[in-house]
Structure 1
Amino acid sequence: MDLGTNTFHLLIASGTAHNYQEIVHLHESVKLGEGGINKGYILPEAFARGINTMLQFQQQIEANGVEQVRAIATSALRSASNGNDFINEVKAKTGISIEIIDGAQEAEFIYNGVRLCGCLSGGSSLIMDIGGGSVEFILGNADHIIYKQSFEIGAARLMDLFHRTDPIPAASIQALNLYLEDKLSDLFKAVTNHKVEVLIGSSGAFETFAGLIEIEKGEEFDLKKNVSYTFNETELLTLTNQLVQSTHQKRAGNKAIIPVRVDMIVVASLITRFIMHKLQIGNVMMCTNSLKEGVLAGMLD
């Protein structure tokens, strides 16, 4: 289980790390950070949604005779003053023990998940995972990690700070870019002496980007059949520009955008565009694997 700021994921599988069969794969829009992400507190409504989802997950775990369980919590529970209350209630009601991991561990799990995709090569790639509470950057190749860091600049946090009017105003975009310039200084220093050949977006918003581009072409896009996707730079920048300028109503009416991403896709677009321009990266890929697959790989091995 990957218990994120926006979405709780359950992945039940059997087999080996490089050849496993999915038995159950659920995504539940819990929005644990809604209304309280920048206050460091899980609001009662979000708290209840999280507990109810964990009860559903426990039913699936029991129904499928699962032998080994790991529940990994990230940014929202990591920074919430009542995060331990949530963990204790889940333990009492389901028996599931939640592990809170730090940003470095989160980045390593993401790297392991992406490596399973086969997207990495001998050259340097920059993996970016845009979550609701944090964004992880991992510089590495198929053999090892060169640099990894988690930044508390997730889509839910940035929405709360900058995307209060829709469409997002030009002044807010400028303020957001200046904010990213400041917050990501460690990343920029780390990549100075490395030629980044490709930016790999780990699941989340990048799945939506790929789906929107292919559907616009009249093509079907099935994430189960497309574990990776290579973007055309012009198509991706055109799409992100359209999303940034769009209204909530227009995004909500697009079936290719799942409800939890209807608003967060705007700041996710701005982060993506900022990184591409700042680091002058034109080659961008999507990998459907992320933290949960990285955790699963370790369990199956």
Structure 2
Amino acid sequence: MRLGVLDVGSNTVHLLVVDAHPGARPLPAHSHKAELRLAELLDEQGAIGPEGVDRLVATISEGLQAAEDKGAEEVLPFATSAVREASNADHVLARVHDETGVDLQVLSGEEEARLTFLAARRWFGWSAGRLLLLDIGGGSLEIAYGMDENPDIAVSLPLGAGRLTHTWLPGDPPDPLDVKALRRHVRAQIARTVGEFTRFGKPDHVVATSKTFKQLSRIAGAARSNEGLYVQRRLSRKSLEEWVPKLAAMTTAERGALPGVSEGRAHQLPAGALVAEGAMDLFGVEELEVCPWALREGIILRRLDHLPAR
């Protein structure tokens, strides 16, 4: 069957259409996305403003039309931290339902981490052993660990690259004192959770998902995206530590000229790099592998698990 996943994230609204059947890997058929940066559109009261809601409704409508055009039999709509934490979330969800007919499923941070972990586990398989997963989104950082498809522990921290850039790093390039303050904040937040994970033992394999990690691995020398999903892409802590001060000293335009860095995400990269570096350091990770699958694939896999086998 052809399924669509409508992902209302903190940075983008992304429709992914796949051909999927129980027991088979989902095959991408179409992708449609728009950058809204909802995490950066919150006002002083933490609400998504009228213009942001209007843009969201219009973008969801476009995504639904694209799904219909591509023959999707079912669309699975969900939202993450930007909508989850908006003070006017109920109003936003009501507007979306009234004007598009879509009931957005708002995932908790823990659900987000668990579904992303499921996708990583299916990608790497049982032979990967105990997995530690790191995922940096626009609004939050998800961390999960476990041996099975359902992790033993999963947490979500308010350390998304978009959120932190908007709140802590307003300059272009950011003020060095702001960078130092953000580094302290990030590490203090992550350090509170490390003990909850270390009691489960050392992971056998550390993996990362998200655009942030993909971009960081690319500028550190990993293969280009056009070389395919199955090329192994790694990121070492040593390389990341060398790049963090360089990224912080660059302007957005200079970052956007780096290999693999998209123009729309370039301004968030210093904050994302600080989170990645802090997580790898505090969890004692020397090197991790970037996983092509993430939350959207996790949503699809969970849906397929509930379909009857052919």
Please report the TM-score for the alignment, with normalisation by the length of structure 2. Answer: 0.86
| Aligned with 1:188 (options 172, 191, 194) | 194
| Aligned with 1:274 (options 275, 278, 290) | 278
1:158 aligns with 2:164: yes
- 1:38 is displaced (CA, Å) by 6.7
Give runs of aligned pairs for residues 127-206 of structure 1, distance below 5 A.
127-193=133-199, 194-206=201-213
Show the counterpart of 1:104. 110
- Whether contact under 8 Å (1:117, 1:227) holds in the other structure is no
- 1:195 is displaced (CA, Å) by 1.4
Query: What percentage of aligned pairs have identical amino acids?
Result: 24
- 1:226 is displaced (CA, Å) by 4.1
- Which residue identity is paired with 1:16? H
Secondary structure in 1 aligned to 2:289?
strand
User: Is the alpha carbon distance of 1:59 and 1:253 closer, same or farther for their aligned partners in structure 2, counting shifts above 3 Å?
Assistant: same
User: Is the alpha carbon distance of 1:166 and 1:138 closer, same or farther for their aligned partners in structure 2, counting shifts above 3 Å?
Assistant: same
- Whether contact under 8 Å (1:37, 1:157) holds in the other structure is no
- 1:271 is displaced (CA, Å) by 0.7
1:8 aligns with 2:26: no
- 1:282 is displaced (CA, Å) by 0.4
Give the whole-Å Cα distance in 2 for the aligned partners of 1:100 and 1:86: 11
- 1:112 is displaced (CA, Å) by 1.2
**Range 15-24 or range 67-76, more displaced:** 15-24
Greater RCO structure (CA 8 Å; 6+ sep):
1
Show the counterpart of 1:240. 244
Show the counterpart of 2:33. 27
- 1:281 is displaced (CA, Å) by 1.0
Secondary structure in 1 aligned to 2:90?
helix
- 1:29 is displaced (CA, Å) by 0.7
Give the whole-Å Cα distance in 1 for the aligned partners of 2:280 and 2:273: 11
Secondary structure in 2 aligned to 1:153?
coil
- Which residue identity is paired with 1:209? L
Unaligned 5+ residue runs, structure 2? Answer: 1-5, 306-310
- 1:171 is displaced (CA, Å) by 2.4
Q: Which runs of 4+ in 1 moved over 6 A?
A: none
**Range 129-138 or range 13-22, more displaced:** 13-22
Secondary structure in 2 aligned to 1:293?
helix
RMSD of equivalent CA atoms: 2.4
**Range 51-60 or range 64-73, more displaced:** 64-73
Paired residues, number: 298
What are the superposed Cα offsets for residues 149-182 of structure 1, whole Å, 9 maximum, x if unpaired?
A: 1112211221123212233333223322321233
Please report the TM-score for the alignment, with normalisation by the length of structure 1. Answer: 0.89
Show the counterpart of 2:98. 92
Secondary structure in 1 aligned to 2:67?
helix
Give the whole-Å Cα distance in 2 for the aligned partners of 1:242 and 1:205: 16
Give the whole-Å Cα distance in 1 for the aligned partners of 2:85 and 2:133: 23
